[in-house]
Amino acid sequence: MNMPDPQAIAATWMSQFTDPTVWQGWTTFPPMMPNMVSPMVPQMMPAAGGANPLAGLFKDVGVGIAPAKLETIRDDYLKKAGQLWQDFVTGKTPALHDKRFSGSAWSGNPMSAFSAASYLLNSEFLLALADAVEAGPKERQKIRFAVQQMVDAMSPANFFATNPEAQHHMLETKGESLTKGLANMLADLQKGRISQTDESAFEVGRNVGTAPGQVVFENELFQLIQYSPATPTVKAVPLLMIPPCINKFYILDLQPENSLVRYVVEQGNTVFMVSWRNPDRTLGNLSWDDYVETGAIKAIEVVRDITRQDKTHVFGFCVGGTIAASALAVLAARGQQPAASLSLLTTLLDFDNTGILEVFVDEAQVALREQSLGNGGLMPGRDLATTFSALRPNDLVWNYVQQNYLKGKEPPAFDLLYWNADSTNLPGPMFCWYLRNTYLENKLKVPGALTVCGVPVDLGAIDAPVFIYGSKEDHIVPWEAAFASMNLLNPKNPKANRYVLGASGHIAGVINPASKNKRSYWVNDKNGKSRPKTAADWFAGATENKGSWWPEWAKFLAQNGGADVPAPSAFGNERYQATEPAPGRYVKARAD
């Protein structure tokens, strides 16, 4: 089915929703009241015998809605609009079940409360139209996403003229908040992004990324950090951590109280970390093969050499897990099995279900990236950060517009948001290969369908026990998609894989310190000859446990870690010597 651009559909709906000719035969709703919310909100009611104006919302956009469904949406809208107007004329303040309007300034002012309620009603109407479009699920998701973006942007909370909290704050500060808000906005325009935290409160190596260690190897693509032991003895098998290359590694080592690195070191492991270089123009020609061969495979080689161990635990987080699994599949094709275990956190190997990110990936968009970046260049980290912020615009965009600009407030210091703003670039050829072969064509899961580093890869050929983690509310790697790796790895050994599901999202679910005893996680350790084939079947037999999933992973590493040996007394070895303290200089290079 040939679908028009979802952005065009959303824009057409918005424009026609406010076109007076669309609403001919309707009377003003409410009478004598200007639109207080935004140009999006139609304050109209149908006159007796008036034509159905909603049909105009679909002219020239190439999509349709079943007449019966359209009529149902229309009737529901009119019923709620009528009740809202009745409440307004009788002085009843509408209930506002939305955190954007939870402040007393909204409910305490009838006009502001009605403005918010009108906005919420019309938002509900537009999203109902998007959900009712007769199209395939992916096309409908793109349309809904585009409509949602515009709906969120037009909230009355985002405009000073319709935000009573911002107005009250201006009066309380005698106008100082407006001056400060303008200064904040101009500063962000210079940075090219919205400030989400007080960035002056943090510095990599000073109060984030502070686990002690030394850089023991580097090439043009990454530095390898070896962390100081925290126990007199350690497991013989070392642990190599491969973080995502689209973010800085110190998400795994934020501050001492929430550092996954420190935790696994304290559990008696010799830990190494890949610190990816933030690519500049000189690295704009690097490919996926470079990240696998020169990155992950080289790191595995160095770790084995330094520790004099034949095998190492291999850990991958997000796209770092995709790189790690690809590297082990390449080595398997070369007759090598260097992994004592493989741990994958919120990682996609089967890209059949990529959640909301599907709205950014189709043939046209990938081809456009290939045309502009496929032969070299950089995918700017700023663009990647903007994309991820668009997935949660109210939390990661409009909240800061309201607080920083309309109210003139400074965002509080928050280590995770500091890391979130510390974006990284990606080499164009690597990025384009990744988009096409995984997200678009989903070839990595098919044995032999892809050639990586000169050999056909088969994930099922990796011979190592596997620990897979997914986050229940992850909007980047849906937990069901993370579970799909269970059916790709160790296909002939059902008991070699273990899946753990944590509460919360892509980052907060992973960074859940054991010492805090927060949230919960699910496991399914029921014995049987075969493991559940689907995520739903697995969850049906799972048991919820309070606290962090980290101890479950530590237990897995210990079970596959070999004997206890004395902790290393020095960093590196004769071939790979320490060159600078952790976290190294690569991680400090900013994409800005």
432 is catalytic: no
Distance of CA 39 to the CA centre of its chain: 31
The amino acid at residue 148 is Q
The amino acid at residue 127 is L
Contact 208, 422 (CB under 8 A): no
Distance CA 339, CA 310 (A): 9
* Bridge partners for 271 per DSSP: 239
HSE-CB of 405 using CA atoms within 13 angstroms: 20
Distance CA 555, CA 552 (A): 5
Distance CA 68, CA 75 (A): 11
Q: State the DSSP code for 199.
A: G
DSSP track, 287-355 = -HHHIIIIIIIHHHHHHHHHHT-S-EEEEEETHHHHHHHHHHHHHHHTT---EEEEEEES--SS-S--G
Question: Within 10 Å of residue 160's Cβ, how many Cβ atoms?
Answer: 14
Residue entry with tokens 């925290």: 230
Torsion, CA 390, CA 394, CA 395, CA 399, rounded to 10: 120
| Residue (of 341, 329, 570, 312) closest to 468 by Cα position | 341
Distance CA 510, CA 252 (A): 9
Q: Strands of 401-507 (E only): list them.
A: 426-427, 451-452, 455-456, 466-471, 497-502
Find the catalytic residue in 245, 318, 432, 453.
318
- Where in the sequence numbering do the catalytic residues fall? 318
